[in-house]
Amino acid sequence: MPFQVRPISGSLGAEVYGVDLGSVDDEGFKEVHDLLMRHLVLFFPDAGGLTPQAHEAFGGRFGELEVHPFLPKLEGHEKIVVLDSSQGARADVWHTDVTFAQSPPIASVLQVTLTPESGGDTMWSNQYLAYEALSEPMRDLLEGTTASHLFVHPNGSFRSEAEHPVVRTHPVTGRRSLYVNRMFTRRILQLAKGESDALLEHLFAVSESPQRTCRYRWVEGAVAMWDNRATQHYAVNDYAGRRVGQRVTVMGDEPRGAEPRWGKFREAGMSATSVKE
């Protein structure tokens, strides 16, 4: 029986019905993969609740699964991260996952196991469309620039920083997307700090604009997966109850873009490391 697909916005995202993620065959998996490349975010409302083993097995078909360095794990399953709002898991800032790593994740598969009575939706944004919304001179400026992405754990136990192209080319679709995000991107390295701050604020606004987003209302047991290479997401923090999800993340590839056209900006008398403020 063919899958039933219902787009949920004009920009990205689709609900898919009739898929047993725990036993999907190779032909069905290829269809899921192709739908993901087309819609960027897929939702499976009738997935019925994946067992931890099935969750890991399905995610593992996309590639090697991550063992997150510090987020809490499901007991007995080190590759399944538990996102519990009662423990502070409320990612209410637009972001692309783990861009502070040299090879950020390809995709994630999230199953929500507990929802509040109201609220707790998640939003995603299409970064192909964000790039395509820029003027031609702005696109030309950004081609060949790179940005620093940084995360430091509040308790100082973990720090990671990476440099990635501001515009990346998707390795499967070949499309360009904007690749900066408010949570982790710190500086465009070829620009003076004031220039970078102003331009990043503009790019963040473009990437988060409502007309390039979708919003999903969770039901318990529903599963979502997204292409982390061309999307951002935002967990709406508008609820008083508790929301719990279980997530596996597919380990990544190194973002690629145009070759740099300029060196990193240095003020007179500043060292090479000064651009990483």
Tokens standing for 270? 């500043």
- Annotated active-site residue in 164, 182, 187, 233: 233
To the query of whether residue 149 is one of the catalytic residues in this protein, the response is: no
Rounded Cα–Cα distance for residues 107 and 250 (Å): 5
Dihedral of CA atoms 236, 22, 25, 63 in degrees, nearest 10, equals: 60
Buried-exposed string 190-208: b where 16+ CB fall within 10 A, e elsewhere: bbeeeebeebbeebbebbb
Q: Do the beta carbons of residue 129 and residue 247 sit within 8 Å?
A: no
The 3 state secondary structure assigned to 110-126 is EEEEECCCCCCCEEEEE
Note if 97 is an active site residue. yes
Helices marked H in the chain: 26-39, 52-60, 127-132, 136-142, 193-207
Catalytic residue, candidates 38, 61, 90, 95: 95
CA dihedral 7, 98, 252, 138 (to 10 degrees): 70
Which residues, other chains included, contact 171 with Cβ-Cβ below 8 Å and sequence gap of 6+?
229, 253, 256
Please tell me which residue in 97, 164, 186, 212 is annotated as part of the active site.
97
Q: Is 247 an annotated catalytic residue?
A: yes
Q: Please identify every residue annotated as catalytic.
A: 95, 97, 233, 247
